[in-house]
Amino acid sequence: MPMEVEFLGRVDYAPTYAAMQKFTAERSEGTPDVLWICEHAPVYTQGLAGKKEHIFNPGDIPVVATNRGGQVTYHGPGQVVAYPLLDLKRAGYFVKEYVYRIEEAVIRTLLQLGVTGHRVAGAPGIYVRLDDPSGHALLPQRPMKSGADPNFSGLGKIAALGIKVSRNCTYHGVALNVAMDLEPYSRINPCGYTGLQTIDLSTIGVVASWQEVAEVFSLKLAVSLDP
């Protein structure tokens, strides 16, 4: 049975983070899984691996330290943020497949909007070809060899992923950029990568409202994460 979806509207990041932690700490084996869909006021969030030097000019945008994986990212208006609160043990799959299923939901959402999303080996999230957002040609394998840094040339990142698993239950999640002010990304190294370009749907010519994308994305996620 697909998870229940709750649309929270525009909410501040810190209390939402606290609510995720509370929900996860208090849930039992019988607690239904739920997917929270929301939008945040401008905020930088720093993952457990985060390094201060990757945030070089936060200005008046607050920086919140979190316990998710990964480095720094930005949340702001015009971005659909999805928080799956899922019991992986009950779902019957592990973290690696969970990440794959989230990325697959992003790819299927983009496809419905006429955009081809790509994975880059070693760099969670979804990327788009800047010169051909709707083209279906596969990317060359990146990185080309084990241990090499990911190659983002010609790509823009359109969805960022950062998760936490506690007692087999997930929180934090994924953010898909719809129509944002992208300037705050220029003040950080997104996900810890110098010069990684971040894009949104409007930048590549897709005209869609936050609500339209949120509804498609929430449906794709609920189906993709269903055991």
Which are the catalytic amino acids? 191
Q: Does an H or E element contain 97, and which?
A: helix 95-112
Q: Does an H or E element contain 165, and which?
A: strand 155-166
3-state SS class at 72: strand
Distance separating alpha carbons of residues 132 and 113, to the nearest angstrom: 14
CA nearest neighbour of 188 among 50, 73, 49:
73
Distance separating alpha carbons of residues 139 and 68, to the nearest angstrom: 28
Pair of tokens at residue 99: 């990440």
For the purposes of burial, counting CB atoms within 10 Å of the CB of 109, is it exposed (0-12), middle (13-18) or buried (19 or more)?
Answer: buried
Cα torsion angle, 143, 144, 148, 152, sign: negative
Cα torsion angle, 119, 56, 17, 6, sign: negative
